[in-house]
Amino acid sequence: MARTSASSASAPPGGRRSASMKDVAARAGVSVKTVSNVINGASVGAATRERVQHAIAELGYRPNISARNLRRGRTGILALAVSEVDVPYFAELARLIVDMAEEHGYTILIDQTGGDPKREQYVVNGMGTRLVDGVIFSPVAMDRLDIARRRDTTPLVLLGERVSAGPADHVAIDNVAAARAATAHLASLGRRRIAAIGVQDHDQSTARMRETGYRAALEEAGLPVDESLIVPARQYHRRDGAEAAAYLTELEEPPDAVFCFNDTLALGAMRTLYDRGYRIPDDLAVVGFDDIDDGRYNVPSLTTISPDKAGIARSALRLLLDRIEAVDSAPREVTVSYELRVRESSGSPRRV
């Protein structure tokens, strides 16, 4: 009686009650241990295995993942926390991570922070319940100190920052060097007034790294830094790039090149530049960052820094899985390679 009422209380809504391991065991005339062994690939006599598998098929049995997780102390789920999944760079990364995680038997759950500090705090502190075995997190608002302060011990891998002696495992490209290469490329074309779009306040942020690289490249090229050419962007969407470009074209002395801190900024900027009669690259050369699919097909196609995204996905997963298995090691950093892909938006040098 107690059995019955408890069972119905926790059965799935609507009265469907699926078979349990116990049911399978009864049907096959073996113990649940043996059923468990069959399912988990332990060694079981051929005849017994056969009988169990038959019973499983007959009953349409599927393991209850919650019970397994409770027992095993893990869930097989990893979180990917980004500001917004429909940002093309994150969408491309998500695709890779989802596929690679699956090869390791993990499922990816998406958490969108919207760049909100409170949500980022929540992510860094284990996401409320122990739902995930680990988190891959691309911070926007949080800096290194915020993350160092976390009390949660859920394995965490940071994406997109390059902070030495970091508070957690992380994988990134060398953003300073990449930004320097992008800017140097524009300088090598003979451009003198090279603008930057995408500057942000957060310390230790990717934006800050790229700004540093940009400034270094100007200096190395012997070009003056004109602060009026350095434009912030609240977000990294096309709209923000379009607005920043509008500002630049309204300067008394507009730039002859612009390094955008990501491709969507660049795409948005190019739209505005086109509307205002700029020829790209003749009047103004443009370089982006990320090498998203859109940029390759755009007219003009976009010169960009192409990070090894598969390498980022693979490294992030590797670090995370390592840490899930062994907590004690010191935080590790993986630096992934990148390439400058020169395309039409900076393709035909002027004044060289």
Partner DNA sequence: CTGAAAGCGCTTACAG
Helix H segments across the chain?
Answer: 2-10, 21-28, 32-39, 46-59, 65-72, 88-103, 117-124, 144-148, 175-188, 206-220, 238-249, 263-275, 293-297, 309-325
Question: Closest approach of Cβ 41 to DNA, in Å?
Answer: 10
Q: Which does 299 bind (CB under 5 to 8 A by kind): its own copies, DNA, none?
A: its own copies
Say if residues 175 and 198 touch (Cβ distance below 8 Å): no
Collapsing DSSP to helix, strand or coil, 5 comes out as helix
Instruction: Tell me how far the alpha carbon of residue 349 is from its chain's centroid.
Output: 34
Helix (H) or strand (E) run with residue 338 in it: strand 338-341
Binding-site partner at residue 274 among its own copies, DNA, none, CB < 5 to 8 Å by type: its own copies
7 binds DNA (CB under 7 A): yes
Does residue 16 belong to the site contacting DNA (CB under 7 A)?
no
Report the residue number, 80 or 194, with the smaller CB distance to its own copies: 80
Tell the smallest beta-carbon distance from residue 74 to DNA (Å).
10
Residue with tokens 């670090």: 319
Interaction between residue 60 and DNA (CB under 7 A): no
Largest CA distance in the chain: 90
- In whole angstroms, give the CA distance from residue 287 to residue 262: 9
Question: Residue 195: what are its φ and ψ, rounded to 5°?
Answer: -85, 165
**C-beta of 25 vs 319, nearer to DNA:** 25
Q: Does 260 bind its own copies (CB under 8 A)?
A: no
Kindly list the residues in this chain that would bind DNA in the complex (CB under 7 A).
2-3, 5-7, 9-11, 17-18, 20-22, 29-34, 36-37, 39-40, 43-45, 48, 61-64, 67-68, 70-73
Kindly list the residues in this chain that would bind its own copies in the complex (CB under 8 A).
10-16, 18, 60, 62-75, 77, 84-86, 88, 91-92, 94-95, 98-99, 102, 107-112, 126, 128-131, 151, 153, 237-238, 242, 267-268, 270-271, 274, 293-294, 296-299, 324-328
